[in-house]
Amino acid sequence: MDLQDVVSAGVLEQRELLEQGAVSSQELVAATLAGIDAAADLGAFTQIRHEQARAEAAERDRERAAGNVGPLHGIPIAIKDEIDVAGLVTTFGTRANSTPVKADAEVVRRLRAAGAVVVGKTAMPEFGQWAFTESSTYGVTRNPWDRTRTTGGSSGGSAAAVAAGLVPVAIGSDGGGSIRIPSACCGLFGLKPQRGRVPTAPYEHLWWTLGVSGPLTRGVLDSAIVYDVIRGNMPDSRFTAPDPLISFEQAARRPATGLRIGYSTKPHTPLAKPDRENVRAVLDTAKLLAELGHSVFEVDPKYPEYLHAFYPQFFGGVRDEADHVEHPELLERRTRQTITMGAWARRPVVDWAIRQGESVAHKVDRVFADCDLLLTPTIACRPPGLGALDGASTIRAQIRSIPMVAYTALWNVTGHPAASLPAGIGEDGLPLAVQLIGPSNGETTILTVAAQLEQARPHARPVG
């Protein structure tokens, strides 16, 4: 296998080649860094660890020679720029921070303990507010399928890096769809985990109950492997999730038939209308699931109102992150508007919103009394062109984001796990995607069915 093919391979393939000695971590990381440099115009990365990553790769090779090997040993990985990596500035997509942090976030610590080599930080809109990865600081992040189109957001840099084959996995976060939306735009698998599944330390929370962290990958099994490394509670976690009965990797490898899968193309908001191709992707996937032996039927989820719980946490989350930056005068004009508009979103209001979100979660649990999984579109529209945020105020940016979050944001309020997975190619040459939502702590069921769909309908990759 050519070294460039190794760089663009997935986690499992890279791990096997490293184990076989077909490639060293030093060779793999050096080629990865060269590929990242060559693709600078993609706008996927904001910071690159050239010297540090090479040194860590050499150490991984020494550890392998000594027989000390972890599940991600020697594999390059990228981290969204709101997650702490020691020695780098945690920018949150802003110019308002300038001092490198001294310690890794818990997620990064676990990845390193498993042997991963962090090669850099990926782009995001300021504080992850928008479904488009564009900022006045870092410019736009381009979709590898069509560089005139958006990657979605807010984990758009992570999505672009993986879709372009620059790294096999990148860590993102999801506070309203920010793992799933970029995965849908870029033809990736992206699972938003159950609330509390992955620790947020050293931060108490990510947008209060809304935000969670997780990987974006090209394949389901790769995602499961990484989740088995980063999941697990900490004693001081604000939210926790019970350990699954089987590992995520086991779930992605097991067969399954006879599940009850409901489908719906109804968005959470009447302001969004799904594109006909996205509807077709759901119907085609429902047909395929039936052929695979599942009981598939249309449902009306009767989605409850949720924005009264979402917006206090959105505004409160942005305000909280902005309160901790070093140079607030350097924040984008649009972010300053968000902060002003959200002046009311203080702790008592946010605590009320969290309680309201728990009530919403109980209401949507009724959907899962009749089905094991819910199948929907991931986004309502096709991936739009670049420049969605050009000249946009906070209100206009929110309006433009509606078709992107119309199927995703509810599940951040409720905390349920949900994943976007590829569903073919649209007439515009861009990926189609569908979303699988599970009951509370239902990631293993999602992974099993997503892997089954992936095997029956292999994921495509961008050309060139």
Predicted confidence (pLDDT) per residue in 322-354, tens digit: 999 999 999 999 999 999 999 999 999 999 999
> Which residues, other chains included, contact 324 with Cβ-Cβ below 8 Å and sequence gap of 6+?
none
Count of C-beta atoms within a 10 Å radius of residue 361: 21
How is 367-416 classified by DSSP, letter by letter? GGGT-SEEEEES-SSPPPBS-TTTT--HHHHHHHHHHHHTTTHHHHHH--
Q: Active site residue: 8, 24, 154, 401, which one?
A: 154
Is residue 80 among the annotated active site residues? yes
Could you give the angle at which helices 307-322 and 347-364 cross, rounded to 10 degrees?
140
Residue type, 446: I
Nearest to 447 by CA among 254, 173, 162, 229: 254
What's the chain's length in residues? 464
Nearest to 96 by CA among 142, 154, 138, 44: 138
Burial classification of residue 5, based on how many CB atoms lie within 10 Å of its CB (0-12 exposed, 13-18 middle, 19 or more buried): exposed
Strand order in the sheet with 418-425: 45-48, 117-122, 76-80, 169-174, 212-217, 189-192, 418-425, 431-437, 373-377, 260-263, 295-298
State the distance between the two ends of the chain, measured CA to CA, in whole angstroms: 18
C-alpha dihedral sign at 190, 444, 82, 267? positive
Q: Active site residue: 178, 183, 213, 223, which one?
A: 178
Nearest to 19 by CA among 56, 70, 53: 70
Residue type, 247: S
Helices (H) and strands (E) in the chain, counts: 16, 15
CATH superfamily to which 3-456 belongs: Amidase signature (AS) domain (3.90.1300.10)
- Measured in whole angstroms, the distance separating CA 26 from the mean position of its chain's CA atoms is 27
β-pair partners for 156: none
Copy the structure tokens of residue 143: 């979709």
Is residue 158 among the annotated active site residues? no
pLDDT in tens, the chain (464 residues): 789 999 999 999 999 999 999 999 999 999 999 999 999 999 999 999 999 999 999 999 999 999 999 999 999 999 999 999 999 999 999 999 999 999 999 999 999 999 999 999 999 999 999 999 999 889 999 999 999 999 999 999 999 999 999 999 999 999 999 999 999 999 999 999 999 999 999 998 899 999 999 999 999 999 999 999 999 998 888 889 999 999 999 999 999 889 999 999 999 988 899 999 999 999 999 999 999 999 999 999 999 999 999 999 999 999 999 999 999 999 999 999 999 999 999 999 999 999 999 999 999 999 999 999 999 999 999 999 999 999 999 999 999 999 999 999 999 999 999 999 999 999 999 999 999 999 999 999 999 999 999 999 999 888 76
Beta strand pairing call for 373-377 and 260-263? parallel
Asked whether the beta carbons of 150 and 156 are under 8 A apart, the reply is yes
Cα–Cα dist 411/361, whole Å:
8
Q: Active site residue: 8, 80, 401, 420, which one?
A: 80
Q: H or E stretch including 118?
A: strand 117-122
Count of C-beta atoms within a 10 Å radius of residue 385: 10
**Radius of gyration of the chain, Cα coordinates, nearest whole angstrom:** 20
Report pLDDT digits (tens) over 155-172: 999 999 999 999 999 999
Copy the structure tokens of residue 66: 């000594």
Is residue 154 among the annotated active site residues? yes
Burial classification of residue 358, based on how many CB atoms lie within 10 Å of its CB (0-12 exposed, 13-18 middle, 19 or more buried): middle
Residue type, 416: H
Residue type, 213: S
How is 156-190 classified by DSSP, letter by letter? HHHHHHHHTTS-SEEEEEESSSTTHHHHHHHT-EE
Model's pTM, two decimal places?
0.98
Nearest to 129 by CA among 40, 210, 188, 189: 210
Residue type, 451: A
